Chains A and B, each alone.
Chain A
Amino acid sequence: MTSYTFNQRVADVLLFKGYFIAGHLYSPRVGYFPVYPESRRVFSITSKLKLVAEELSKTIVPPNADLVASREAAGIPFGVATALEAQKGFLYLRKEPKQYIASRIIEGVFLPGQRVVIVDDAVSRTHDKKTAIDQLTAAGLQVVGVSVLLDAAYGVTDAEQAWLRQSSEYQFATLVRWDDLMRYAAEKKFISAALADIVVAWIADPFRWSEDAENWQRFKAVAAREPNVVFDPSFKEI
């Protein structure tokens, strides 16, 4: 079951200078980002982090979960803060098993059959959530939910994402969708409507958008005038 209503309280704390990074930022899965939402900066602003943890913990419906689990590394700070807020135990998942002491993927104490909610900073195409669920399930745990701060929402209607987004098995909760956040940021005059439109178009089809050199040039001209966006060195490469 998916639960999503745009969380304005969370959106408001994300509108700070430093959250949106403009550049020509490469990621192996999505290609080049013109604007990247740097959710990691949220956990350096304690008041913002506390609010996000509070909202994430509300998505963990008691008494339906015993534990919170997060993947290394960016998910762990949000997971810990949420687990402390919700007073749940915490586990973390390594990307690679530790080769020494005790070789394992899952760090923490749990009992077979315990119910787990995965907490993460973001969800994009859902692949990494599948991996985490498989690892937790293989260890005898029961995953009941996936809660994230930001839904990057690339190709949300794609059939390959339906297993999570339209799941009857997992409670899938996101606090804000990225496209909604961009529109909201424009409405609040935090960024220009022109920049919001560009990013929303990019989110709808990142690869096709990136292929068109004119898109990048228009983005560069618009972004350069934004007072609340910070610039990665790669911005100059556009």
Chain B
Amino acid sequence: MNQRAQNLLVACYTQDPGFFAVGPFESSSGTIVPFYFEFRKLYSDPKAVRRLANHTAQAIKKMRPQVVAGAADAGIPLAMAISLKTNIPFVYIKKQRKAFLAKTAVEGSFPPGARAVLIDDTLLYGNTKKCLIDNARKDGLRVTDVLVIYESGGRGYQQSAARAWLKRQRITTHFIFRKEEMITFLMKRRLVPPQTLLINDRYAENPKTWVNNGHYWQDFLTWKKDYAALRSAR
């Protein structure tokens, strides 16, 4: 994480307390999440959206995409801001094809076979990305790169079937932040308790079963209290 990314993260963190969301939450894949970074909150701040877009513009241009494709819905605001910044045309891709009118999954226009970078807020198992990329391909849009605000380096995610599929398709993934780096950085700044990375690692190692370990769960509850104390002390 370079200096610019660090500054960006601190700005995100200090601007909005809801940005670091403390669980437990149930995720779409049925796992129990101890905490996560809520980058979607930033979309409510035009300066933060611009900052993210400016930060990624150079990297995007190097990918030489013909379109910037937002993942509906959470990727659309950033993709749009990047498109406005770089003047690369914008489209968005939906998980579900429209049932009526023109029955497309990609909304917008693009030359057939165009190369696209897919933009989303997070990359975890990669199932959503696979679904969107497949949908796009059927509509004649070729996703060559994926750029997300943050991804997790946890083994449970990195070794998923969908991540392996992305590699086989030679789709390059890019991210602004890696979850573990953000946590380490926030720990150094004493913005989160010292056990935060451990709690995350136990989750990321085995997202589906970590809650069944009583010891892990107790540690999580203790961590949660520590975090609340830290927060109220500031």
Contacts and interface: CB of A to CB of B under 8 A. Distances in A.
Interface in B8-58: 16, 18, 21, 25-28, 33, 36, 40-41, 43-46, 49-50
A25 interface: yes
Given A21-B102, A38-B102, A74-B107, A100 B28 contact: yes
A145 to B, nearest CB: 18
A90 B49 contact: yes
A33 interface: yes
Chain A at the B interface: mostly helix, strand, loop or mixed?
mixed
Contacts of A25: 100-102
Chain B at the A interface: mostly helix, strand, loop or mixed?
mixed
Interface stretch (B68-76, B177-185, B203-211, B219-227): B68-76
Nearest to B88: A46
A84 B45 contact: no
Contacts of B49: 80, 84, 90
Nearest to A44: B108
Given A27-B101, A43-B80, A77 B90 contact: yes
Given A90-B49, A108-B41, A84 B81 contact: yes
Nearest to B102: A232
A81 B25 contact: no
A76 B109 CA distance: 16
A167 interface: no
B148 interface: no
| Centre residue among A36, A73, A232 by max chain B CB count within 10 A | A73
B143 to A, nearest CB: 16
B90 A49 contact: yes
A46 B89 contact: yes
B89 A108 contact: no
Nearest to A72: B73
Contacts of B28: 99-101
A46 B84 contact: yes
Contact of A36 (B18, B50, B87, B101): B101
Given A28-B100, A46-B84, A84 B50 contact: yes
Given A44-B89, A46-B90, A80-B76, A109 B41 contact: yes
Interface string B100-120: 111000011110000000000
B31 to A, nearest CB: 10
Interface in A78-118: 80-81, 83-84, 87-92, 94, 99-102, 107-110
Contacts of B73: 72-73, 76, 92, 94, 107
Contacts of B91: 43-44
B94 interface: yes
B109 A18 contact: yes
B109 A44 contact: yes
Contact of A108 (B27, B33, B44, B107): B44
B39 to A, nearest CB: 11
B25 A46 contact: no
B67 interface: yes
9 contacts: A38-B102, A46-B89, A76-B73, A76-B92, A83-B46, A90-B46, A107-B73, A108-B40, A109-B45
Cβ-closest 4 pairs across A and B: A44-B108, A108-B44, A109-B44, A89-B44
